[in-house]
Structure 1
Amino acid sequence: MPQKLPAAEIGILIYPDAQLGAVHGLTDLFTIANRMARDRLGADAPWIRVTHWRDAGSAIERVFETEPGESEPDFVILPPAVTAPITQAEAKPFTDWLRERRERGSTLCSVCAGAFLLAETGAMAGRSVTTHWFFADDFARRFPDVRLETDKLVIDDGDLITAGGIMAWTDLGLKLVDRLLGSTVMLATAHFLLVDPPGREQRYYSAFSPRLAHGDEAILKVQHWLQATGAHGATLAAMAAQARLEERTFLRRFRAATGMKPTEYCQHLRIGRARELLETTHGTVERIAFEVGYEDASAFRKLFQRVVGLTPREFRQRFNAGAEAA
């Protein structure tokens, strides 16, 4: 490695139950990016120094470095958790250190459930962020002052960068390589690793996961009915009748319980069924549209693209190549 100063130091924080696979994977990704930069630009190529940080009891200390040095991390990454997100009590040893890094100019980054630790610092208040869609409800309850956008896989908001899925550390890593070493090096690194360059969206992969533990028995009854019928014949009058509520009362309670309007809820349920059929069957888009309750295939295509981010054909090509070929 050249003796000149690195383009940046990226520190990776190892907190309780952090996914070590992501810690080491990110380290390898930046090491590969350095090599790609050197191969293309020679000895004067910019490079990234990687450090690991851990709670040593009395302080957060550097426990690993790819090259010796005493610089402050320009970026701090909070990797995914192996299972559940960090609790408020577990986060306490790290929040002051993270706030201090931010005050000194570090860009704070999180992947998946790492967003919970980042949010405990208060840095996310009023900001747009993402985390894994599976944790969206828990995150919203713990941090109601944060704008959560789980449709997006990566949100680069300048001094805060958040990535959604548990494997989105590759997307975050490539985004940082793009910012620090340039797009040519980023694309070469992505090609070497055989991963897609940044630009994917989490909603391509997330299943519709409705709120059910809201405590409103009348609305839950309607949700079970919608699931059983595939939302066929789900008019406002029919849903209100299932709940045994007046329509205006039903609308208010449904939105309070599920976070969605009934029409929006039914659309997501039908699109979820369409995704399954596109992944597992050879049926035409027109037939699938009809099966899930849409007589106008053109309207179905537009709605599918708005919800999923891909057209039905693009979705099938990505997730069911055998069906597309057939």
Structure 2
Amino acid sequence: MAEALPELIEIGLLLYPEVQQAAIHGLGDLILIADRLRAEDQPAGPALRLSHWQADAAGAVRRVFDSHPGRPGRPAALILPPSLAAPISPEAAAPLARWLTARHGDGAVLCSVCAGAFLLAETGLLDGRPATTHWNYHDHFASRFPAIRVDTARLLIDDGDLMTAGGVMSWTDLGLALIARLLGPALMVRTARFLLIDPPGREQRAYSLFVPRLDHGDAAILKVQHWLQATGAREVRLPDLAARAGLEERTFLRRFRKATGLRPVEYCQHLRITRARERLERSADTVDRIAWEAGYEDPASFRKLFQRITGLTPAAYRERFGVGAGPA
């Protein structure tokens, strides 16, 4: 009597133009390792099937790699890996987006990593829903897809049938989240431990940098921005900022927010916290001293603001990102 074939749960990777090959190979390794560990713990349980999908010259998307060739089935999840090139154009995305929409209609969970979110967004399935991408793409993504609630502070957003991950290397978080969903959290943790990577739960805002908008074309606001950068945004008062811009206060507030996307107080906070992050990374100074030098006389208020902006306490931030240095 022939041995019964195991049930298969297929995870497919879409090889769209300029896709990052390192992520393709890394995700494949993660999936195959998870399945190997599954076979040790749950030999009678469903096995993971890894497939690669790619459009041919005629535009038809087909399997180009299959870990279990010849078996029928369709992907339970499809991953759009990151790209190191510019985000895919609407024209190049259109045929792939139609195919993805059909697979979503068949019940597949659609997942993106980093710039892969641009391809997923072209399906229209993310409209009105939360999504993340790389923090550096925030403005581009938000302007191209205004109906999507983009949140690049988060590294991973699991919205049921749609999952998005932020940074280039967040394929590890997405892959583990899929393993937890498909085969259970215990196997996910075992896979993470085997690969020496953190289980999902990190936040992208700890890694993102504050990059002020300087190309908005408002010369008066740009003048103020340059002054704030040069002075470290210390001891700033609204009347002084408005006077430096040569504007009435209400006009200054309106134009500043339009140009930078932030209120002046928020902008100054981000500048100060950026300076503090640099000191935490490169010096051994106490947190209290760094807070004072950043313009905060109350260390407790500084710690609270630092954690709100970065998602980490100053001590945890230094532990993760500090490169080691002697006292200033």
The 3-state SS of whatever aligns with 1:191 is helix
1:26 aligns with: 27
Per the alignment, residue 203 of structure 2 pairs with: 201
Equivalent of residue 107 in structure 1, options 106, 109, 124: 109
Distance 2:54 2:93 in 1: 12
Q: Secondary structure at the match of 1:89?
A: helix
Alignment of 1:67 onto 2:78: no
Aligned-partner Cα distance in 1 for 2:253–2:72:
59
Q: Which runs of no fewer than 5 residues in structure 2 stay unpaired?
A: none
Is the contact made by 1:52 and 1:63 (CA closer than 8 Å) also made in structure 2? yes
Amino acid paired to 1:162? T
C-alpha distance in 2 between matches for 1:65 and 1:203: 36
Checking the alignment, whether the CA contact within 8 Å between 1:12 and 1:77 is kept in structure 2 is yes
Q: How does 1:181-220 map to 2 (within 5 A)?
A: 181-220=183-222
SS at match of 1:44: coil
**Length, aligned pairs only:** 324
Amino acid corresponding to residue 11 of structure 1 in structure 2: G
CA contact (8 A) 1:2 1:44 kept: no
> How far off is 1:103 after superposition?
1.3
1:164-206 CA-to-partner distances (Å, cap 9, x unmatched) read: 0000000000000011111111111111111111101101111
Structure 2 Cα separation of the partners of residues 2 and 13 of structure 1: 30
Instruction: Spell out structure 1 runs of 4+ moving beyond 6 A.
Output: none
Give the whole-Å Cα distance in 2 for the aligned partners of 1:120 and 1:148: 14
The alpha-carbon deviation at position 2 of structure 1 amounts to: 7.8
Q: TM-score, normalised by structure 2?
A: 0.95
Displacement of 1:46 after TM fit? 2.7
Distance (whole Å) between structure 1 residues aligned to residue 323 and residue 98 of structure 2? 49
2:48, 2:286 → 1: CA distance? Answer: 49
Secondary structure of residue in 1 paired with 2:63:
strand
Query: By how many angstroms is 1:325 displaced?
Result: 11
Tell me by how many angstroms 1:111 deviates. Answer: 0.2
Who is 2:322 aligned against? 320
Match of 1:268 among 267, 270, 274: 270
Question: What corresponds to 1:55 in structure 2?
Answer: 55
Deviation, structure 1 residue 20:
1.2
Give the aligned CA root-mean-square deviation in angstroms.
Answer: 1.7
Amino acid at match of 1:241: A
| CA–CA separation in structure 1 for the residues paired with 2:16 and 2:231 | 45
Secondary structure of 2:157's counterpart equals: strand
1:164 corresponds in structure 2 to: 166
**Match for 1:14: what amino acid?**
L
CA distance in 2, matches of 1:88, 1:224: 36
Report the Cα distance in structure 2 between the residues aligned to 1:287 and 1:161, rounded to whole angstroms. 41
> Whole-Å Cα distance in 2 between the matches of residues 44 and 206 of structure 1?
43
Distance 1:196 1:273 in 2: 27
Identity %: 58
Query: Is the Cα contact below 8 Å between 2:282 and 2:324 reproduced in 1?
Result: no
Deviations 1:226-249 (A, max 9, x none): 111110122111211121111100
Q: Secondary structure at the match of 1:167?
A: coil
Structure 1 residue runs without a partner (length 5+): none
- For residue 215 of structure 1, report the CA deviation from its aligned partner: 1.5
CA distance in 1, matches of 2:185, 2:156: 17
